Structure 1
């Protein structure tokens, strides 16, 4: 019998569009219906009137297993609802929804997002058999973020089809229906084809950039800079002429966004095991073009650095490095004592919430039971001068 086995889930939000994806148990035709509703004091989901039909998007492909449809002509920062439908060649039909979604916030509007990782990278150590993953998704839902960054290792072995369901899509199935997400490649993804099949990131998908509100985000593939057979050394891969190295420079040169955030898997700074110091070769570029935060993972702990510039603490122009090795905790991976660059560090299952509002970035680290255990704030003046709190 025809069924939906993954999703639906949301991808690549812009101020005017959203992409819906899902996987069916067998090839099928697909469509998405979008609805809009006015907000009232009480009524349909989230205090909205019963939605009115806005548009129908039909797939150009007659029958496929992984479905990807993009709705366009949306209004920025607006709430919509969507339904997905699939029908196989025998006339069997399946649908899912309605689910709410928001088009992306425009420039000048506050936004929030969450960050976590290691839903699959921790699996070999997880005695809870995935309950931590489920807990993290539930806690993130409480904070109603606009989107989520996953900093790699979504699965245990990206070459195994079943891992994508076990460690990511199943634990996150309710959350992902209404919260779009982005991810970078971790070493556990193994650069497998499933990563490219399941996600609708901008080509070439292992590195890309996007804007949301007043923030410019850059995703990099550290597993491309540091090949598996050379780990933990870059062996000459971080250099001019290398595709994503040149992309990073061009992209940073081209943006005038108030905030700049970069995320990739291998951490340049962490006072624990699996620090990958060769990734520091990117730091002068990020410093030159005013990057504010770098998110990493790989070491399955939480760690926030002091602001760093030129490999020294700098409270005027430094970058804050945050290891959000979230859906897992490995206390034994921490060094006996903190390194010079560490501001706060704790090995507990967690996620990070970031709120961008006016001239402030608010950063909060929250554990799987909803307890706040670290917070920080970056303030930026009109001339770009940063203050750290």
Structure 2
């Protein structure tokens, strides 16, 4: 008998939702406070904003990326011992740095440290090291597969990060099937919040090679007006060249070897030992096929892997989620994909007996609908003979070990229990594939996530292998032996969160003209990428007001410049909103700034009107501004032809301002803790308008919370 303590419920590190750039203004307002500018930041040492992580590894080179809190040059010292001895420069004065160290020996460990001037940014610690890729085809190696991980939840990704640190053998690298941001990556700093904080200690010494998911595609709001911008992404129509046209954050954060024929960021490939990996990289259906044909045919390649966000083998496990290659990829052994938040392993498929795996690690509620048509009491896991060998809905990671002509794959729950496995043996010129038998999977009830009522009944309530002891404890009563990670998992008492530090601007002077003011706003909004109400504490929000007062002063001298920036339609929306938020800061002590807010409350631009009204309603308790906003929305909802910014009845998505209003703003604004699932079922704008009109006399402004509450 064994007891499972799966009460990994700690205070949530971060809430599961984000509000998008449209809510930047209302988000800041929810817990606003003033701190005044401190001269300490002018003289304090340079600090890391993003700790180092490894990219673009080969047998003879390795890339290291990091970010600091000031525009300064850096250098990396490295060597075969911790005495180091060699230096490579990142000489530009910038915050984000990347160096590629070349001329290295294959399969060799090198230690490194990063410095800026005389300041060491990393300690003399053996954990700061990297190993170049192995080139010997006989060398055993292992790697981890993650996907859709961009929600640092304490019950999902955080314990998975601990498990990753405890795996044996230590993985040589990590591949990721996309949605590193499970929200919307409107700025590169999104990845600090959702990935680099949780996995920081692993990524400093383990190369990380992700593909781009649909949540990694979004940039600024105004791109939705560009006919080439894929706001509503149709699978198969992505083009990696668009990521560069629109300067998408994903490819500013992560580096590509650009080894395809067009030398674009995707698709790309890399070699490790006797294996070749090809990544679709967000480039779309069919992208990577010619690259795969070329790379898979190279001498000495025994194992061939392909990974992407959407595209796997035709006819895989999840009905409605099949976005297949037709015909299948040439000679491919395993394909990994994400997008749908489930775990699924296909039966061997096609002439090369390839196996397709869905790696939707987060285990959130998204994706349960794909099982509804196949899960029945007679077929609890929706298996399809000859197509699907296992389905589950749980947080997980996959550890793959390759040793010559033999491959073993294990899929883990966060507690180290193996819930699925696969062995492929190519010895003797024949390919033998053996997966875990369908009656041997443990199906631990504590790790099942986002289930339909039937799935919950079959997998949890009536699970014959587990007995509930209450309080999150389960006793295993099955007959099949359980396989576990053979070493303890070190759990952290708290999970590393990114340190959000505002960059310094030395010898600063208040902008003297529009060009200087525009540059200042651009720099400001590069940091304050997403002031989500659930994501930022008081100190971080204080940085915004502190920075505004530092850059533009507390008086009215900069007000004309800020008004011009808000009016400038050629600027990105986030910069215009940043200027509007800065006017809101000045409005605390400036009558002229308050009058400008009233003017923008009547703007024909939805973003400006909404934000100006919310500033007035929440920061200053002007309930009439809230009434003006609701009245305008009511008029626009019936306008013919419809306002293209205001389609009230469409479900929309995170790129749709109305969707953001329905899902996030109104519940927060009215202090309503409404449970809204990820299926898109929520109150329409019309229903919110009706709610306001019915309850407006019961709404009372709460200055301390800067929102409205219902009173009797």
Same fold (TM over 0.5): yes
Secondary structure of 2:163 counterpart: helix
Q: Which residue number corresponds to residue 3 of structure 1?
A: 47
Matched, 1:95 2:124: no
Specify which of 397, 401, 405 is matched with residue 351 of structure 1. Answer: 397
Specify which of 301, 307, 310 is matched with residue 257 of structure 1. Answer: 301
List structure 1 segments (4+ residues) > 6 angstroms apart after TM superposition.
none
Aligned mates of 1:35, 1:221 — CA distance in 2: 32
Structure 1 residue 65 displacement after superposition: 1.4
For 1:230-241, list aligned pairs within 5 A: 238=286
For 1:64-75, list aligned pairs within 5 A: 64-75=94-105
Q: Which residue number corresponds to residue 373 of structure 1?
A: 419
Q: Which residue number corresponds to residue 151 of structure 1?
A: 177
Is residue 136–residue 350 contact of structure 1 (8 Å, CA) maintained in 2?
yes
Tell which structure's C-alpha radius of gyration is larger.
2
Is residue 264–residue 295 contact of structure 1 (8 Å, CA) maintained in 2?
yes
Aligned mates of 1:382, 1:32 — CA distance in 2: 47
Structure 1 residue 274 displacement after superposition: 5.2
Specify which of 159, 164, 185 is matched with residue 140 of structure 1. Answer: 164
Q: Deviations over 1:97-148 (max 9, x none)?
A: 431221212222111000011122xx4xxxx745522222221121121000
Is residue 297–residue 324 contact of structure 1 (8 Å, CA) maintained in 2?
yes
Is residue 77–residue 105 contact of structure 1 (8 Å, CA) maintained in 2?
yes
Could you list the runs of 5+ residues in structure 2 that have no partner in the other structure? 1-40, 218-242, 259-263, 376-381, 435-712
Aligned mates of 1:309, 1:244 — CA distance in 2: 18
For 1:45-124, list aligned pairs within 5 A: 51-59=82-90, 61-87=91-117, 93-97=119-123, 98=125, 99-106=128-135, 107-120=137-150, 123=151
Specify which of 270, 295, 299 is matched with residue 336 of structure 2. Answer: 295
Aligned mates of 2:293, 2:193 — CA distance in 1: 37
For 1:332-351, list aligned pairs within 5 A: 332-333=368-369, 334-335=371-372, 336=375, 337-340=382-385, 341-351=387-397
Specify which of 321, 339, 342 is matched with residue 356 of structure 2. Answer: 321
Structure 1 residue 382 displacement after superposition: 5.0
Structure 1 residue 253 displacement after superposition: 4.0
Is residue 185–residue 206 contact of structure 1 (8 Å, CA) maintained in 2?
no
Aligned mates of 1:255, 1:220 — CA distance in 2: 22
Is residue 294–residue 319 contact of structure 1 (8 Å, CA) maintained in 2?
yes
Aligned mates of 2:161, 2:250 — CA distance in 1: 20
Q: Which residue number corresponds to residue 205 of structure 1?
A: 265
Aligned mates of 1:205, 1:309 — CA distance in 2: 29
Q: How many residues get paired? A: 337
- Structure having the larger proportion of residues in strand: 1
Secondary structure of 1:206 counterpart: coil
Secondary structure of 2:106 counterpart: coil
Matched, 1:173 2:200: yes
Change (3 A) 1:254 1:358: closer
Secondary structure of 1:114 counterpart: strand
Aligned mates of 2:100, 2:210 — CA distance in 1: 19
Q: Which residue number corresponds to residue 28 of structure 1?
A: 72
Aligned mates of 1:213, 1:245 — CA distance in 2: 22
Is residue 29–residue 63 contact of structure 1 (8 Å, CA) maintained in 2?
yes
Aligned mates of 2:111, 2:364 — CA distance in 1: 36
Is residue 84–residue 112 contact of structure 2 (8 Å, CA) maintained in 1?
no
Structure 1 residue 175 displacement after superposition: 1.0
Secondary structure of 1:73 counterpart: coil
Q: Which residue number corresponds to residue 193 of structure 1?
A: 248
Structure 1 residue 64 displacement after superposition: 1.5
Aligned mates of 1:162, 1:63 — CA distance in 2: 19
Aligned mates of 2:195, 2:344 — CA distance in 1: 23
Structure 1 residue 246 displacement after superposition: 3.4
Measured on the aligned residues, the alpha-carbon RMSD in Å equals 2.2
Moved more, 178-187 or 133-142: 133-142
Aligned mates of 2:348, 2:206 — CA distance in 1: 30
Aligned mates of 1:3, 1:165 — CA distance in 2: 15
Secondary structure of 1:299 counterpart: coil
Aligned mates of 2:202, 2:164 — CA distance in 1: 8
Q: Deviations over 1:258-278 (max 9, x none)?
A: 11000011144543365133x
Structure 1 residue 222 displacement after superposition: 5.1
Matched, 1:272 2:332: no
Aligned mates of 1:372, 1:253 — CA distance in 2: 34
Q: TM-score by structure 2 length?
A: 0.45
Aligned mates of 1:157, 1:52 — CA distance in 2: 42
Is residue 130–residue 171 contact of structure 1 (8 Å, CA) maintained in 2?
no
Change (3 A) 1:255 1:207: farther
Aligned mates of 2:60, 2:276 — CA distance in 1: 17
Could you list the runs of 5+ residues in structure 1 that have no partner in the other structure? 38-50, 226-237, 311-316
Is residue 187–residue 223 contact of structure 1 (8 Å, CA) maintained in 2?
no
- Structure having the larger proportion of residues in helix: 2
Structure 1 residue 160 displacement after superposition: 3.3
